[in-house]
Structure 1
Amino acid sequence: MQASKKHKFIFVGDVVCEKKPHFSEELQNLLRSAEIRSCNFEAPIAGFGKPIDKTGPLVSQNSEAPQWMQELGFNCFSLANNHINDYGKEALLKTMDQFPKDEILGVGNEKDAYSLNTKTIDGVSYGFLAYGENGYGALNGDREFGHAWVNAKRVNNDIQEFKKQVDILIVQIHAGVELLDVPIPEWKERYHELIDLGADVIIAHHPHVVQGIEEYKGKFIAYSLGNFYFDYPSNHPQWNTGGLLELIFEEKKLSAFKFRLIEKKGQSVELKDETNSNNFINPLSERLKGKDYEEYVNIKAVEDWENHHASYYAKPFNGLADYSLGKLLKHVKRSIFNREVNHNLIWHNLFIESNKWLVERAIRIKTFGKNRS
């Protein structure tokens, strides 16, 4: 009897290129060994469109970035993310045009953004989808062109129907609390729900740091692969450390996986050894199962409220969350020069799921204490 063929897929996290990446020989060889090599292409190419009115940074990348990533071996690109619409429809269309149409996921008009991308390898059918959380580019009723929204009403039914069409259904999701090394319970529950509906693999990114890996009902979830190559300034110690995920499929199911750390140094990207990688990812994965997991999230939610969100909620109305000298001076400046309500910031706080859920958690704790809902 002929042995079944194995198929190797590789996934990495967020990509923003100002300069051309240089991969180590080991990384190049690993990419060449896989049939599918996927990344999250985080922002449109520069030089097109106009900046949209939004809260937070506007990000673009070198106009040659799509060519660079294809030359380096990538052949599957998730574009469903919070920066892909930063310069509007024109820039997004120009970016999409830089890739083969059958290699991009999660963007366009509603029909295209929510459509299933299928690949058949040795008679095994694989389906690929990409979604992002709510945001200024999400297809949430505010626009007709952008990225697929993971909590759109159609998604649950889509997952069920798409699973009927393929042997393996792989879903990438751009969501989560930035710079938090665990997923918040609300995202865990949503990803579990998508597995229950038919997804076989969920691979997530957006927090810019690596989060843990979980097996749920025999299926696989990677909660965040962090940054792969992100040319954007940050002082965070893990900004240039990300995850590379090898998935091995055999007999129409996931038979093995391997997590490897990658490190970006300037323009160079190299793989860390397996021992280093396992020592990094295992504690993050164990924390998801630990009895202190939710308490850890609660602590981080309150910290984030006190360090960031309290000011965010005060700022739209030119209010104050604390009375430090610096905040008072900024308040005086805003009161004189900008007395308008910042509706964009209010929208950002109320409708982007990660922000909303984290704030709700912090307010419950500060109001009722950690032991009451």
Structure 2
Amino acid sequence: MLSLITVGAFAYLIQKLDPPREGDKGGGLALPPKIEAMSKPPATTIPVTPEKPPATESGAATAPPEQSPGVKLTFVGDVMFGSKVDDLLQKNGYDYPYKHVKPYLEKADITVANLETPITTRGAAQEKEYVYRSSPQSLPELKRVGVDLVNLANNHSMDYGVEGLLDTLDYLDAQDIKHVGAGRNSDEAYRYVIMEQKGMKIAFLGFSRVIPDTSWYAGKSNPGMAETYSTKLAFESIGKARAEADLVVVIAHWGEERKAYPVKSQTDLARQYIDHGADLIVASHPHVVQGFEQYKGKWIAYSMGNFIFTTNDNPNTWESMILEASCTKERSCDLSMVPILTKWAQPIPMVDEARDKLLEKLTNLSVNAQIDKEGRITLGPTRTVPIEAEEMPPVKKETGIVDGTSKTAVKPPANGTKKPSDSDKAADPKKAEQSKKSEAGKTTETSKKPDADKTQAGKTGESGKTQGTGKNTEGKKTTGDGAKSSEGGKKSPESTKKSAEDPKKSTDSKKTNESSKSSGEARKTEKDRKTSG
């Protein structure tokens, strides 16, 4: 009874406090205000919590893919410490060349240069117009400023013969400076060097298509250069490097001196290197800067110019660059450059108008690249770049030096001393007479030696220049060292003289005419023979 009274009293109290609302049927119990409000849809939008990343089978969330950390590579052009450069080093100290550029070389993970000189105090000067050698005392400072690797595949590394090259290898090893492009045999010359930074393996290789004499070619049992007149070994080495490394860099030596645009052999080789697995190509030899090209997403720097070298009166040879490449395991590189003015063997970063002019110049020289005011190199509009005809490679001979004019040994000159010029050699009356006959198109004798025939035929058919003076017919003075172009082979004047004096070695006029008509074919045959080798 008491319970019933209590419930009735409670119901009566509720009714008094909360009377029936309009629309309510009967008097029943109304919901408490708070409970009623919560049961209705919200009047405003409630913030939605972001969805979690999709879970893997194990239940862990999958993070977005991260790009691998980049490795910074820095490249500079031709470096040489002999001749007048040595005079400056003796006067100002071995740190003299680096006073304005040391920070750029030090901050890179790996810094690379083209060493355009043997490091030696021994050896016999090769028979070529200019020869160089540099003191071993120049290497410690090169290492100290951050240079980690050098390319030796070029037309000066054997200026003092095999002995000079072997000394160079030993001195570099002693300073822990890695080297590519030359070796004690062909295996070592074509071998790639792998350097690891930030968990990334970078393979470096060095090749040259500018070699004065075939005796400089590395062989199975003889020291020499990694040449690419025949590309078989180079392509094989690139392929092996790609299988082992995260990035493959080719340091090339090629082209024609003082030419602003690449010759056909440069563009052909660059693209073939990439087709066989190279990810980045940085090159030298013209002694002037050339433009950039991106091919299949890979960058090509056709010529870096001089970095530490002798100075001549051609201002184009004073222009250089420091090339910086930020590369990843995805085999891609972002490039930027620092414009450099190099005079008296001391490279200095350009500023203001001079800097802007070189950046604009390089943009105009590039195939499909553009360079902004900060030096960043990006893909740009494709331009029609004049690709010049390829010059002749050296022709193998049984004796003599292709780039020289004498088969006899000479006394080693002072470092970088100029040999007698071709104009001096042509002053010989007999040679002058031979030159006149050649210019008039009166070929009167042809050597029976197959290689000599090919040398003469190739010159007449491909370069169309005169023979008989012993002159390097395609040569032009270089920009940095003054040497003539050593890409082409040359017939020794002594062999020409012997051919003229020995009637047994003369051919009849019919054979002479046939030789003249088929000169281009003879040269092509020789080239094919070398390529297939």
Which TM-score bucket, shorter chain as reference?
Answer: 0.7 to 0.9
**Which residue does the alignment assign to 1:94?**
167
Whether the aligned pair in 2 keeps the contact of 1:229 and 1:240 (CA below 8 Å) is: no
What is the distance in 2 between the residues matched to 1:178 and 1:189?
18
Partner amino acid for 1:127? A
What is the distance in 2 between the residues matched to 1:56 and 1:116?
31
Deviation at 1:335, TM superposition (A): 5.8
Q: TM-score, normalised by structure 2?
A: 0.55
Whether the aligned pair in 1 keeps the contact of 2:321 and 2:339 (CA below 8 Å) is: yes
Whether the aligned pair in 1 keeps the contact of 2:143 and 2:177 (CA below 8 Å) is: no
Deviation at 1:334, TM superposition (A): 4.5
- The secondary structure found in structure 2 opposite 1:91 is helix
Deviation at 1:177, TM superposition (A): 0.4
Partner amino acid for 2:108? A
What is the distance in 1 between the residues matched to 2:368 and 2:356?
19
**Which residue does the alignment assign to 1:41?**
115
What is the 5 A alignment of 1:270-289? 270-273=348-351, 275-286=356-367, 289=382
**Which residue does the alignment assign to 1:70?**
143
Partner amino acid for 2:114? N
The change in CA–CA distance for 1:186 and 1:132 in structure 2 (over 3 A counts) is closer
Q: Considering Cα pairs closer than 8 Å and 6+ residues apart, tell me whether 1 or 2 has the greater RCO.
A: 1
Whether the aligned pair in 2 keeps the contact of 1:138 and 1:148 (CA below 8 Å) is: no
Runs (4+) of structure 1 moved beyond 3 Å? 1-4, 23-26, 140-143, 273-277, 286-292, 326-329, 333-336, 343-350, 352-356
Q: TM-score, normalised by structure 1?
A: 0.76
**Which residue does the alignment assign to 2:181?**
106
The change in CA–CA distance for 1:263 and 1:158 in structure 2 (over 3 A counts) is same
- The secondary structure found in structure 1 opposite 2:259 is coil
Whether the aligned pair in 2 keeps the contact of 1:11 and 1:39 (CA below 8 Å) is: yes
Larger CA Rg, structure 1 vs 2: 2
What is the distance in 2 between the residues matched to 1:47 and 1:177?
30
- The secondary structure found in structure 1 opposite 2:72 is strand
Cα shift readout 1:191-222 (whole Å, capped 9, x = no counterpart): 11111111111111001000111100100100
1:118 aligns with 2:191: no
The change in CA–CA distance for 1:157 and 1:329 in structure 2 (over 3 A counts) is closer
What is the distance in 1 between the residues matched to 2:426 and 2:281?
46
1:149 aligns with 2:149: no
Whether the aligned pair in 2 keeps the contact of 1:120 and 1:126 (CA below 8 Å) is: yes
State which drifts further: 244-253 or 35-44: 244-253
1:248 aligns with 2:326: yes
What is the 5 A alignment of 1:56-205? 56-100=129-173, 103-108=178-183, 109-133=185-209, 134-136=211-213, 138-139=216-217, 144-152=222-230, 153-205=232-284
Whether the aligned pair in 2 keeps the contact of 1:170 and 1:199 (CA below 8 Å) is: yes
Q: Quick one: which of 315, 320, 336 aligns to 1:258?
A: 336
The change in CA–CA distance for 1:328 and 1:172 in structure 2 (over 3 A counts) is closer
**Which residue does the alignment assign to 1:332?**
429
Deviation at 1:182, TM superposition (A): 0.8
Cα shift readout 1:178-198 (whole Å, capped 9, x = no counterpart): 111111123201211111111
What is the distance in 2 between the residues matched to 1:348 and 1:165?
44
What is the distance in 1 between the residues matched to 2:204 and 2:473?
29
What is the distance in 2 between the residues matched to 1:15 and 1:242?
12
Partner amino acid for 1:201? L
What is the distance in 1 between the residues matched to 2:346 and 2:208?
28
Cα shift readout 1:52-106 (whole Å, capped 9, x = no counterpart): 23x3311222332222311222111111111100111111111222223661111
Whether the aligned pair in 1 keeps the contact of 2:118 and 2:168 (CA below 8 Å) is: yes
Partner amino acid for 1:125? K
The change in CA–CA distance for 1:28 and 1:346 in structure 2 (over 3 A counts) is same
Whether the aligned pair in 1 keeps the contact of 2:120 and 2:133 (CA below 8 Å) is: yes
Cα shift readout 1:305-348 (whole Å, capped 9, x = no counterpart): xxxxxxx99x99xxxxxxxxx89982527569xxxx9x896899
Whether the aligned pair in 1 keeps the contact of 2:367 and 2:384 (CA below 8 Å) is: no
**Which residue does the alignment assign to 2:74?**
10
Segments of structure 2 that go 5 or more residues without pairing to the other structure are 1-62, 370-381, 392-401, 407-422, 434-446, 456-469, 476-484, 490-518, 521-533
Cα shift readout 1:152-185 (whole Å, capped 9, x = no counterpart): 3322222222211111100001111011111112
Whether the aligned pair in 2 keeps the contact of 1:131 and 1:172 (CA below 8 Å) is: yes
Whether the aligned pair in 2 keeps the contact of 1:131 and 1:173 (CA below 8 Å) is: yes
Cα shift readout 1:234-283 (whole Å, capped 9, x = no counterpart): 22212222121100013433341102221223343211246344223111
Whether the aligned pair in 1 keeps the contact of 2:150 and 2:178 (CA below 8 Å) is: yes
What is the distance in 2 between the residues matched to 1:23 and 1:8?
22
Partner amino acid for 1:293? P
Q: Quick one: which of 372, 381, 386 aligns to 1:293?
A: 386
- The secondary structure found in structure 2 opposite 1:113 is helix
- The secondary structure found in structure 1 opposite 2:147 is coil
**Which residue does the alignment assign to 1:360?**
none
What is the distance in 1 between the residues matched to 2:99 and 2:126?
40
CA RMSD of aligned residues (A): 3.5
What is the distance in 1 between the residues matched to 2:235 and 2:338?
31
Q: Quick one: which of 216, 219, 225 aligns to 2:298?
A: 219
Whether the aligned pair in 2 keeps the contact of 1:23 and 1:270 (CA below 8 Å) is: no
Segments of structure 1 that go 5 or more residues without pairing to the other structure are 302-311, 317-325, 357-362, 365-373
What is the distance in 2 between the residues matched to 1:131 and 1:286?
23
> Structure 1 or 2: larger strand share?
1
- The secondary structure found in structure 1 opposite 2:76 is strand
The change in CA–CA distance for 1:5 and 1:220 in structure 2 (over 3 A counts) is same
What is the distance in 1 between the residues matched to 2:153 and 2:329?
30
State which drifts further: 56-65 or 23-32: 23-32
